[in-house]
Amino acid sequence: MQTERPMSRIIVGAAIIEAGRVLACARAAPPEVAGRWEFPGGKVEEGETEPEALIRECEEELGVKVEVGDRVGGDVPLGHAGAVLRVYKSRLLADQTPQCLEHSELRWLGRDELFDVDWLPADAPIAAALRPLLD
């Protein structure tokens, strides 16, 4: 009998904060979640640290270099195969401007705008944890 390898996938997200606002990104795909909002990021690949994965994903998705800081909120279980979402506070390095390379829209959200977007379900508690970090 073939036994399945237990899968515990870590998905990392970057809460990029600049001038008291955080960057939110609208997913372009797949259709079930297109238009829902998330933090830039993705799966941690083998041999990669979580900050390394975030730096790679931010380059791929936004064309920017970031510095990764402390965690925001706790591990949020995702609905599939033991995956968890971990979000890190991040900041843009000098002269970096995010471009919408893989998302359908980008928005900078201030403290009172955090819930103006339709976050993916796992991201809502993280958005709440971000509130005190925004001016």
Structure tokens at 95: 């002269």
Ranked by CB distance to ligand 8DG, the top (closest) residue is 42
Structure tokens at 124: 């809502």
Q: Is 17 in the site for ligand 8DG (CB under 6 A)?
A: no
Buried b (16+ CB within 10 A) or exposed e, 35-52: eebbbbbbebeeeeebbe
DSSP assignment letter at 45: P
Residue with tokens 């998705």: 61
Nearer to ligand 8DG (CB atom), residue 41 or residue 98: 41
Q: Is 131 in the site for ligand 8DG (CB under 6 A)?
A: no
Which of 13, 64, 68, 109 touches ligand 8DG (CB under 6 A)? 13
Smallest distance, ligand 8DG to C-beta of residue 69, A: 16
Find the binding residues for ligand 8DG in span 105-124 (CB under 6 A).
120, 122-123
Q: Is 78 in the site for ligand 8DG (CB under 6 A)?
A: yes
Q: End-to-end CA distance of the chain, in Å?
A: 56
Q: Is 43 in the site for ligand 8DG (CB under 6 A)?
A: yes
Segment lying near ligand 8DG (by CB under 6 A), choices 35-43, 64-72, 93-101, 110-118: 35-43
Say how far apart CA 114 and CA 117 lie, in whole Å. 7
CA dihedral (110, 113, 116, 120) positive or negative:
positive
- The residues of the shown chain that bind ligand 8DG, judged by CB under 6 A, are 11, 13, 38-39, 41-43, 78, 85, 120, 122-123
